[in-house]
């Protein structure tokens, strides 16, 4: 049950945490330089 | 029961996210990958959100009396007032750890949000260090001491909160002092990140000074509130017992006090780089050490948590933090050296250096006194030192710090000339007047003759500085409003002086109540009187009161037109545990403090009556210190970082 809740919460947090990757599929040279 | 699973699930999700954030942030900082740095930081924010969800669930379980949760059963019951049920959140081992990491999540997120000025690499390392600390706490909360353990059989009622914790002070003191402890992790994280990134300039100081000040302010408030609680609730007539738990709260405060002063030397003169890193790291290591002492129950104390399984984990964490910090400092030691020539001894730099050394001396005294039972126990015979040791060893150091506080603010940077020596006449005069007055009044105690005049000298220096600020404004043709604008513009400096004034007031209260306390143990029949220190109290009688969760035996003492009601409370639901309720009459001059020691079979009652001079000055001084911190930093804009080398010509920096 605890594992199930944790998994669901991680899924829910996924879009927020991974948003920079979703927004920027490939890192641009400028960002690499920054 | 569902709440327990939800809470445990949130903590587990938080643990995964925190570990992910730590690993990713270190890696992204090393490779300087902008996108991954953002992902790592967002994982930290998500961790904080999970901790917040778990905290809301635990609070909900407490307020709804969900006794299927072991923590709720162990720390609350149906008869406990609802505010104290809510406070049980941090009243036990597991809940207080959750509260600790909740504060770190909130403050850590705030510091990361404001860290853009430092550049992505340093901010990434800071996120990594903070996430690593949070990972450890969540690991303990998930696997070793979970607040969401479920009982196999749900009891109809809980065991209730410890009687000592059933007080209004419980709503303020523990959350503030725990928040203070947690907040020291933020400056540490940025200091470690600066070392990892090789940014040993003052950038991290400009950014973390405010968080160090938050930690210092919270810890100052927590210490004063702790003294207030001990004085008003524990009923032994004092407020500071040099208990290990008090000591471990004092030490990081002392280290941060040193840092808040020495950091100015780096900001202004580019010196003491390594020393400042060392102080911030020391403050955090002392916090971890203190948490280990409090949580493990390894050192005897009146208010440690019960001996538990988490002690070894915290010892391991302390060892890991120590190795990491020392290794990091050693690794970067080459970049921490300053080429500047030493400043003259009589200069602001010299005063700060001396103050730092004295504070480190006090930390050493307190540290060895605290761990002596542990060290001597390992050698075969456990030894414990009392208040006399601390007073003899730390007293002279505190006196020297006070004298330095009286002179230090008057010393200019770099070189002290004739004006400095002339300005010393103000604190010197205040010291001499008080010294003579006390001697004439018959005081012969050397510590008292040193402490009180020194505190007045400190106050006179602060007032002189304020008068000088007003005088400068008048010279430029301004009135009081211009003077206020002058002070407001330099609020960091004058806020600091206000904190000095608060400390002076606090010291007078400490000294007076310590050196001139009067005490009498008496047994009285109804109608009989006791006189002490010029005050007369009449015992009127006793009555029994039944309250929701306990019964009280209340004695009535007539004191002028006041009625004092010292009492003994008995908690039948907690196996008959009893607690003293002190009665205190407070004036600015003295407190009359009455403890009901017991009732006798012949109808008489035994009392302990104390007259504690100027105790209210301690609380007033504490409030002035906090006011100084708040006014000194309220509304201050975040200064855009300008490297020291860019602000000061290299020739000046090296002078």
Q: Evaluate whether residue B37 is within a structural domain.
A: yes
Flag if A13 and B53 touch (Cβ within 8 Å).
no
**Buried b / exposed e along B67-98 (16+ C-beta atoms within 10 A):** bbbbbbbbbbbebbeeebbbbbbbbbbbbbbb
What is residue B543's three-state secondary structure? Answer: strand
Q: Evaluate whether residue B16 is within a structural domain.
A: yes
Domain count, chain B: 2
Residues of chain B with Cβ-Cβ distance to A22 below 8 Å are none
pTM of the model: 0.88
Extended strands (E) in B111-197:
none
Domain boundary among B122, B147, B166: B166
Distance CA B331, CA B320 (A): 16
Closest in A5, A10, A19 to B5, CB measured: A5
Tell me the β-bridge partners of B537. B530
Closest in B8, B16, B33 to A10, CB measured: B16
Cα three-residue angle B20-B21-B24, rounded to 5 degrees? 80
Longest distance between any two alpha carbons in chain B, whole Å: 85
Give residue B149's domain range: 1-166
| Residue B342 per-residue DSSP state | P
Q: Evaluate whether residue B398 is within a structural domain.
A: no
Least CA distance to A10: which residue of chain B? B13
Q: How many CB atoms lie within 10 A of CB B2?
A: 12
Residues 6+ apart with CB under 8 A from B399: B447, B450, B451, B454
Q: Give the minimum alpha-carbon distance from B6 to chain A in angstroms, rounded to a whole number.
A: 6
Residues 6+ apart with CB under 8 A from B459: B430, B501, B504, B505
Q: Give the minimum alpha-carbon distance from A23 to chain B in angstroms, rounded to a whole number.
A: 10
Q: What pLDDT, on a 0 to 100 scale, did the predictor assign at position A26? A: 60
* Element (DSSP H or E) covering residue B497: helix B491-515
DSSP codes joined into one string, B254-292: HHHHHHHHHHHHHHHHS--HHHHHHHHHHHHHHHHHHHH
Interface mutation vs chain A, best among B42, B45, B119, B123, most A CBs within 10 Å: B42
**Buried b / exposed e along B263-288 (16+ C-beta atoms within 10 A):** bbbbbbbbbbbbbbbbbbbbbbbbbb
Q: What pLDDT, on a 0 to 100 scale, did the predictor assign at position B620? A: 96
Distance CA B401, CA B357 (A): 10
Q: Evaluate whether residue B602 is within a structural domain.
A: yes
Q: How far is CA B91 from CA B69, B279, B431, in A?
A: 15, 30, 45
Q: Evaluate whether residue B146 is within a structural domain.
A: yes
Q: How many CB atoms lie within 10 A of CB A30?
A: 8
Tell me the β-bridge partners of B538. B529, B558
Environment class of B162 (CB within 10 Å of its CB; exposed 0-12, middle 13-18, buried 19+): middle
Distance CA B585, CA B565 (A): 10
- Sequence length of chain B is 655
pLDDT digits (tens, 9 = 90+) for B399-432: 999 999 998 888 778 776 777 777 788 889 999 9
Flag if B46 and A3 touch (Cβ within 8 Å).
no
| CATH at B91 | 1.20.120
Residues of chain B with Cβ-Cβ distance to A13 below 8 Å are 13, 17, 46, 49-50
Would you call B39 an interface residue with chain A, using a CB distance cutoff of 8 Å?
Answer: yes
DSSP codes joined into one string, B126-148: HHHHHHHHHHHHHHIIIIIS-TT
Q: Evaluate whether residue B362 is within a structural domain.
A: no
Flag if B32 and A32 touch (Cβ within 8 Å).
yes
Closest to B255 (Cα-Cα) out of B181, B154, B170: B181
Closest to B542 (Cα-Cα) out of B519, B518, B515, B523: B523
- In chain A, helix, strand, coil percent, each to 5? 80, 0, 20
Q: How far is CA B463 from the centre of its chain?
A: 27
Q: Evaluate whether residue B202 is within a structural domain.
A: no
Domain boundary among B113, B147, B166: B166
Closest in B34, B42, B53 to A17, CB measured: B42
Angle formed by the axes of helices B203-229 and B615-633, to 10°?
160
Residues of chain A with Cβ-Cβ distance to B120 below 8 Å are 34
Flag if B16 and A19 touch (Cβ within 8 Å).
no
Token pair for B577 = 């545990």
Q: Evaluate whether residue B585 is within a structural domain.
A: yes
Residues of chain A with Cβ-Cβ distance to B39 below 8 Å are 17-18, 20-21
- Residues of chain B short of pLDDT 70, as ranges, are 297-308, 336, 338-341, 416, 475-478, 573-575, 635-655
Q: What pLDDT, on a 0 to 100 scale, did the predictor assign at position B512? A: 93
Would you call B433 an interface residue with chain A, using a CB distance cutoff of 8 Å?
Answer: no
Flag if A10 and B43 touch (Cβ within 8 Å).
no
Closest in B5, B45, B53 to A2, CB measured: B5
Backbone angles phi, psi at B550, to 5 degrees: -160, 170
Q: How many CB pairs under 8 A join A and B?
A: 68
Q: Please compute, for residue B592, the number of CA atoms within 13 A of its CA located in the half-sphere on the CB side.
A: 20
Distance CA B166, CA B405 (A): 39
Domain boundary among B144, B166, B188: B166
- In chain B, helix, strand, coil percent, each to 5? 65, 10, 25
What is residue B563's three-state secondary structure? Answer: strand
Q: What pLDDT, on a 0 to 100 scale, did the predictor assign at position A31? A: 58
Flag if B53 and A9 touch (Cβ within 8 Å).
yes
Would you call B33 an interface residue with chain A, using a CB distance cutoff of 8 Å?
Answer: yes
């Amino acid at each position: 049950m605890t594992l199930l809740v944790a998994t669901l919460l991680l899924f829910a947090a996924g879009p927020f945490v991974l948003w920079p990757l979703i927004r920027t599929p490939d890192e641009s040279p400028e960002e690499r330089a920054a | 029961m569902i709440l327990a699973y939800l809470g445990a699930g949130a903590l587990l999700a938080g643990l995964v996210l925190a570990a992910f954030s730590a690993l990713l942030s270190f890696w992204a900082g090393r490779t300087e990958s902008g996108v991954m740095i953002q992902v790592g930081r967002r994982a930290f924010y998500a961790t904080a959100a999970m901790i917040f969800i778990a905290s809301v669930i635990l609070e909900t379980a407490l307020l709804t009396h969900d006794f299927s949760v072991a923590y709720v059963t162990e720390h609350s019951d149906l008869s406990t007032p609802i505010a104290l049920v809510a406070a049980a959140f941090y009243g036990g081992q597991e809940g207080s750890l959750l509260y600790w990491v909740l504060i770190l999540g909130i403050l850590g997120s705030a510091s990361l949000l404001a860290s853009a000025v430092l550049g992505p690499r340093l901010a990434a390392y800071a996120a990594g260090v903070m996430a690593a600390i949070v990972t450890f706490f969540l690991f303990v909360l998930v696997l070793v001491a979970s607040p969401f353990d479920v009982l196999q059989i749900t009891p109809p009622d809980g065991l209730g909160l410890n009687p000592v914790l059933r007080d209004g002070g419980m709503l303020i003191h523990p959350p503030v002092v725990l928040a203070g402890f947690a907040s020291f992790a933020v400056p540490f994280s940025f200091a470690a990140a600066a070392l990892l990134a090789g940014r040993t300039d003052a950038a991290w100081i400009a950014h973390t000074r405010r968080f160090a000040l938050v930690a210092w302010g919270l810890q100052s408030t927590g210490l004063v509130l702790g003294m207030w609680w001990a004085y008003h609730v524990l009923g032994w007539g004092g407020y500071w017992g040099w208990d290990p738990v008090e000591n471990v709260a004092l030490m990081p405060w002392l280290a941060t006090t040193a840092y808040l002063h020495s950091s100015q030397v780096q900001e202004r003169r580019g010196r003491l780089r390594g020393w400042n890193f060392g102080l911030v790291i020391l403050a955090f290591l002392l916090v971890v050490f203190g948490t280990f002492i409090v949580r493990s129950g390894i050192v005897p104390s009146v208010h440690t948590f019960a001996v538990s399984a988490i002690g070894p984990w915290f010892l391991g964490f302390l060892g890991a933090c120590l190795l990491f910090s020392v290794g990091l400092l050693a690794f970067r030691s080459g970049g921490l050296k300053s080429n500047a020539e030493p400043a003259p001894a009589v200069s602001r730099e010299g005063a700060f250096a001396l103050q730092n050394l004295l504070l480190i001396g006090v930390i050493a005294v307190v540290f060895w006194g605290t761990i002596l039972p542990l060290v001597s126990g390992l050698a075969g015979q456990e030894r414990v030192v009392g208040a006399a040791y601390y007073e003899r060893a730390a007293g002279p150091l505190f006196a020297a710090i006070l004298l330095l506080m009286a002179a230090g603010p008057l010393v200019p940077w770099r070189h002290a000339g004739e004006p400095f020596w002339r300005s010393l006449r103000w604190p010197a005069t205040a010291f001499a007047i008080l010294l003579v007055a006390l001697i004439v009044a018959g005081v012969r105690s050397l510590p008292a003759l040193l402490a009180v005049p020194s505190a007045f000298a400190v106050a006179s220096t602060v007032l002189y500085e304020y008068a000088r600020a007003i005088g400068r404004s008048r010279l430029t043709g301004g009135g009081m409003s211009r003077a206020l604008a002058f002070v407001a513009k330099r609020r960091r400096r004058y806020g600091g002086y206000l904190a000095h004034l608060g400390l002076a007031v606090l010291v007078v209260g400490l000294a007076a109540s310590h050196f001139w306390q009067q005490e009498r143990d008496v047994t009285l029949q109804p109608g009989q009187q006791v006189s002490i220190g010029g005050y007369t109290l009449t015992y009127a009688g006793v009555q029994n009161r039944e309250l929701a969760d306990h019964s009280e035996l209340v004695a009535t003492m007539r004191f002028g037109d006041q009625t004092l009601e010292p009492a003994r409370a008995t908690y039948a639901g907690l196996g008959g545990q009893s607690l003293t309720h002190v009665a205190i009459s407070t004036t600015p001059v003295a407190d009359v403090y009455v403890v009901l020691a017991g009732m006798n079979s012949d109808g008489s009652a035994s009392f302990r009556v104390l007259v504690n001079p100027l105790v209210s000055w301690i609380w007033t001084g504490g409030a002035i210190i906090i006011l100084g911190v708040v006014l000194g930093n309220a509304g201050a804009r975040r200064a855009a970082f300008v490297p020291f080398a860019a602000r000061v010509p290299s020739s000046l920096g090296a002078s």
